[in-house]
Amino acid sequence: SLAAPAIAQESPKVRWRCTSSFPKSLDTIYGGAEDVAKYVREATDGAFDIQVYAAGEIVPGLQAADAVSNGTVEMCHTAAYYYVGKDPAWALGGVIPFGLNARGMHAWLYYGGGLDLLNEFYGTQGLHYLPAGNTGAQMGGWFRKEINGLADMEGLQMRIAGLAGRVMEKLGVVPQQIAGGDIYPALERGTIDAAEWIGPYDDESLGFYQVAPYYYYPGWWEGNLSLCCYFNQESWQSLPENYRSLLGTATRAATTEMLAEYDYKNPQALRRLIDAGAQLRAYPQDVMNASFTAAQEVYAEINGENEAFKKIYDSMMQFQSETYLWQQVAEYTYDTFMMIKQREGALAGQQAGGNQ
């Protein structure tokens, strides 16, 4: 290796603020922004310094993208579907009901043209978009009473937002938008019958199992959730090329990191929840099928009136049929076999007296 003395580089001092849509208590998802900031700060020896602010410190969590658009802050870390009220097309940078899983999302974003299509849309909002972090497939929510079939969904007051709420409405569910901290008392009082949140690790901290013990899966509205950074376009363009490249690298790294962190923490949390009395249940097939059909109706409605949505949606859906063709071969068959061994208690870790 040839090491020469330090020389002056094009590394201007840049200090940015990043507003997160998440509280620090959701440490994994909030940690996505901290990961990006850390990777960038360390690589530049502190020259490019991003300070992360939790939801509410600068603006409320659901206004993160607006704070970036209007230049209050240079960037945010958020979930794209929080902004479907502006335009349903926003959701496509996060996830849509019966959309892609995490592997499919990343393949579509980075190789299937997704990133360019999304940036074409977000560009009209004054933003540059980079995916940053993923939760994997989420859970389907907590219910006060067991759901034995589609009829049991009728009339339920459920805390569920965005496009998923619109799909649920077609099943007779009454969607409610309630902030995280207000869900527990609403479930306890019976003001709502059910609530979806994220997955075992994050759900555990809010204690839902104590008041709504039936824990359903899968969260068909979040087969993955791709978190993202939005950058103010002028701020983004003001960066030197090396810093822009570094943000691309740091956000990709944050994706590996967050998924790994959830995949490590969720099994432990799931075990604790079950020990504490949570009742794990699969959604009945008629609920899954009716939800799928209802989602296609919602998409037909949106596509009929929203060209921006349709253009991105068509690309994502074309890739979806492609990716599931492949994933069902080696990946799924391998996992199926291993899960059968897990249920038999035959895995080496189980034979060694580990968890059953």
CB-nearer residue toward a copy of itself: 20 or 138: 138
CB-nearer residue toward a copy of itself: 191 or 342: 342
Question: Which tokens belong to 99?
Answer: 């959309």
Question: Which tokens belong to 79?
Answer: 């979930």
> Do residues 76 and 68 make contact, with C-beta atoms less than 8 angstroms apart?
yes
CB-nearer residue toward a copy of itself: 189 or 344: 344
Least distance to a copy of itself from the beta carbon of 163, Å? 14
Question: Which tokens belong to 340?
Answer: 């059968």
Q: How many CB atoms lie within 10 A of CB 155?
A: 10
d(CA 91, CA 308): 12
CB-nearer residue toward a copy of itself: 188 or 322: 322
d(CA 98, CA 101): 9
> Do residues 130 and 251 make contact, with C-beta atoms less than 8 angstroms apart?
yes
**Secondary structure letter of residue 96 according to DSSP:** -
Least distance to a copy of itself from the beta carbon of 307, Å? 15
CB-nearer residue toward a copy of itself: 94 or 186: 94
3-class SS of residue 97? coil
d(CA 253, CA 268): 24
> Do residues 79 and 242 make contact, with C-beta atoms less than 8 angstroms apart?
no
> Do residues 94 and 225 make contact, with C-beta atoms less than 8 angstroms apart?
yes
> Chain centroid to CA 301: how far?
24
For 223, counting Cβ atoms within 10 Å of its Cβ (0-12 exposed, 13-18 middle, 19+ buried), the class is buried
CB-nearer residue toward a copy of itself: 39 or 230: 39
Least distance to a copy of itself from the beta carbon of 231, Å? 11
CB-nearer residue toward a copy of itself: 11 or 191: 11
> Do residues 233 and 123 make contact, with C-beta atoms less than 8 angstroms apart?
yes
Least distance to a copy of itself from the beta carbon of 233, Å? 13
Least distance to a copy of itself from the beta carbon of 254, Å? 8
Least distance to a copy of itself from the beta carbon of 232, Å? 9
Least distance to a copy of itself from the beta carbon of 54, Å? 20
